Structure 1
Amino acid sequence: MQKAKQKAEQDTEQPSETAPALKEIFNAQRIRHIAEETRLVCPSFDSKRFLASMGDLDALSLMARLRRVAESLHVALPGDFRSNVKVLRALAPRLNSGFVTMALPEYVALYGAEDFETSMDALKYLTTFGSSEFAVRHFLQRDLPRTLAVMQTWAHDDNEHVRRLASEGSRPRLPWSFQIKPLMADPTPIAPILDALRADPSLYVRRSVANSLNDITKDNPSWALDCIEQWPLDDAATAWIAKHALRSLIKKGNARALAVIGAGAEARVMLSGLAVSPAVITLGQTIELSFDLSSTAGEAQRLVIDYAIHYVKKSGRAAAKVFKLKTLELEAGAGARVQKRQSIANFTTRTHYPGRHEVEILVNGQVHGKTAFELEV
């Protein structure tokens, strides 16, 4: 999903200091571009009807606009499903936006339910231009075993985009899409896909595998850990996946997850000089967190250092959010200075409220120090 979001951000023109909303990828200029390019590959395409059926986009979200494009293509294309898919395949390399290209797999999802083989082949091809990760989930929802059987073959494809589709499309909790409830209840059916890609040479694919496993840890943490613990973690690519797949469990201090990355032992350290500066801030300012760690161990130890900010909610209560800080190898008797700066500003997923915000330092999942700052709004 992150790749899809990056595509969206890259495809949005940013002529001013304030970036436009992501949904403006599908603006009037882009819609005309789609119409013009479709007409070039299909002269009988009714571009006027396409443009009219797009209607007013102002009230539509990014994903609603993407679907509207697919629906409007269906209204204006002249042929049956198979004929129209041929047009879409010719159109895909001509579109000037990777994210906009994702409207073409959406067309397949909406209108290809009765032609499974043609749809699967189209999704495999179209994913190389944008991504079919959202579209394939409609087929998983309709017929999970049959669709997963095809996706397992994709996991062995020569093209990294197709291999990624196998793992990204089958994620139980893919953001911006609906959840695949049977896979949330039991992820065993996607185990062959994850296993096939556990040492993939492409970081693009490995990140998707890690995200899928991180999804699984939210519903079936023991299953995810059992899976990863059986993998050859001496392989660098596999170890990278394991670390990123277990990030949510590591933040929670899960002992098994910490052990997988070599930080399962209790940290033998002393923490001193913990401070957050300034101690009183207003919204939009940046805090600096700093402290010293000293080893009390007789040998080197791996330390996973995180910090938690207890954000004050509208109700006045506080809820902790854990952030990654760093992982380090601390030699026997050695020390380390740790510093971190963080902006305290509102954004789409968090609104700040005034009050005392406690800060905790976690080392190998255990709290080793506390401080606080006051936010005045």
Structure 2
Amino acid sequence: MELFKDKYTPALIDRTGDQMRLFYPEFETQHFKELVFAEGWEVLEFKARIRRITESLTLVLPADYEKALHILEQAAPQLRGVEYLFVPDFIEVNGLAPERYDLSMRYLTVFTPYSSSEFAVRPFIQRYPNQTIKYLMEWTESHDEHIRRLASEGSRPRLPWGAKLGEFIVDPTPVLPILYALRQDESLYVRKSVANHLNDISKDHPDLVLDLAQVWQGQHPHTDWIIRHASRSLLKKGHPAALSLFGYHKQEAVHIENLKLEQDQLVTGEDLYFSFDVVNHSGEPQMLRIEYEIGYMKANGKQAPKRFKCSDKMYPEGRSTVRTKQSFKRITTRKYYAGLHSLTIVVNGQETESVSFVLKVD
């Protein structure tokens, strides 16, 4: 599997240099390449490689900040995708001085449709919070969905790969007007960002997000989608108020029976197949959020639980059989340890039946 850092091949750096030369003939492509692949390149991870390329561009492009930005602006349409995050990163590295602030903010919106400025805007929020929040509010009214998304994504308190915005983790109220402005956005791309932003907030302020969800619920289909997606962490944790808000009530008349594994031993790389019956004795259909929890063996000999969504729907009265599987193929985000694991079925936040199995690590 290709890692993000492996996207930075000599060919990509060559293409970048060629684009620069189109709009700045004095650009020294060979020198740029030598700077990028200088000593230590091989040990750099993804974000560090972005920064190395940014610093190399800084040394080869004109020292005049505005002139350098204009060159990047002309090249940007050909530098699309996550691998070109060094384009907005150029602003983060070179544009934080007060006299460059307004120019930097303008160019963050220029670059974000091609390679998102969500990381580059964060140091500006940290250094100039009130001033930058005003810009973000203006961006919520942009005709461009990428710029509207930047307002939400760039101010997320816990953006993956991004520096945490500690002030908003403690008190997210300054950014709530941004999310309110985007709560009915026509773009799914923007709505996903708003939902992810609220999900971030829910990790530190669950009651705030639930109060907001209660107010927003029923206002618009787009808003309903946002609050449902924003509550996913609370639902996964079995938060009673979140479950109740979306109609998942504790079920005394619903039981899980016949939980069975196709095999009680497996090797990494295989799938764990299992089935169970949902027995609804209530006499009427019931809305059920069914998850399963894998107790993964860890290096310390203890299990660490991880929940996965199985189904989320109305179950009829009577017996319904569910069959599914969980993959144990190797992935970069999880290390497997040999030993006894567990599988537990969770219904509307309540743990029910459990079984154990043994994982062997090849």
TM range (shorter): over 0.9
Q: CA deviation at 1:234?
A: 5.4
Give the Cα separation in 2 of the matches to 1:252 and 1:81.
48
- SS in structure 1 of the partner of residue 294 of structure 2: strand
Would you say the 8 A contact 1:257–1:264 is kept in 2? Answer: no
- In the aligned structure 2, how far is the partner of 1:92 from the partner of 1:316? 50
**1:3-22 counterparts in 2 under 5 A?**
19-22=1-4
In structure 2, the partner of 1:367 is 351
Match for residue 204 of structure 1 among 176, 189, 201:
189
Q: Distance in 2 between matches of 1:178 and 1:194?
A: 20
Q: Which letter maps to 1:35?
A: G
Query: 1:376, CA displacement in angstroms?
Result: 2.5
In structure 2, what is the Cα distance between the partners aligned to 1:318 and 1:157?
Answer: 48
One of 335, 338, 349 as aligned partner of 1:354: 338
Aligned to 1:327: 312
Could you tell me the TM-score, scaled by structure 1's length?
0.91
Cα pair 1:345 1:352 within 8 Å, conserved: no
| 2:67 corresponding residue in structure 1 | 83
Count how many residue pairs are aligned between Structure 1 and Structure 2: 357
- Three-state SS of the structure 2 residue aligned to 1:219 is coil
Please give the secondary structure, in 1, of the residue aligned with 2:216: coil
Amino acid across the alignment from 1:202: S
When residues 201 and 38 of structure 1 are mapped into structure 2, their CA distance, relative to the original with a 3 A threshold, is: same
- Over the aligned positions, Cα root-mean-square deviation in angstroms equals 1.5
The match for 2:234 is 249
Which letter does structure 2 place at the counterpart of 1:179? Answer: K
Give yes or no for contact 2:296–2:306 (8 Å, CA) kept in 1.
yes
Partner of 1:16: none
**What's the offset of the Cα at 1:301?**
2.0
> CA shift at 1:226, angstroms?
1.6
Picking from 259, 269, 281, the partner of 1:274 is: 259
Given the alignment, which residue of 52, 55, 59 partners 1:68? 52
Q: Distance in 2 between matches of 1:247 and 1:261?
A: 11
Letter matched to residue 224 of structure 1: V
Q: Deviations over 1:137-187 (max 9, x none)?
A: 111111111111101111121111111111111110011111000010011
- How far 1:296 moved relative to its partner? 1.8
Aligned partners of 1:343 and 1:66: how far apart in 2?
A: 33
Q: Aligned with 1:58: secondary structure?
A: helix
Q: CA deviation at 1:21?
A: 2.5
Correspondence for 2:326: 342
Aligned to 2:201: 216
Deviation string, structure 1 residues 237-282 (Cα, Å, up to 9, x no partner): 2222112111111111101111222214436312111112211112
Q: SS of 1:134's equivalent?
A: coil
C-alpha distance in 1, partners of 2:174/2:252?
Answer: 37
Q: Structure 1: which 5+ residue stretches go unaligned?
A: 1-18
Q: Is the 8 A contact 1:267 1:303 kept in 2?
A: no
CA offset digits 1:270-324 (Å, max 9, x no partner): 2111112211112222111211112122333211101101111111111110111
Paired-residue identity, %: 39
2:54 alignment partner AA: A
Structure 2 counterpart of 1:31, one-letter code = I
Secondary structure at 2:43 match in 1: coil
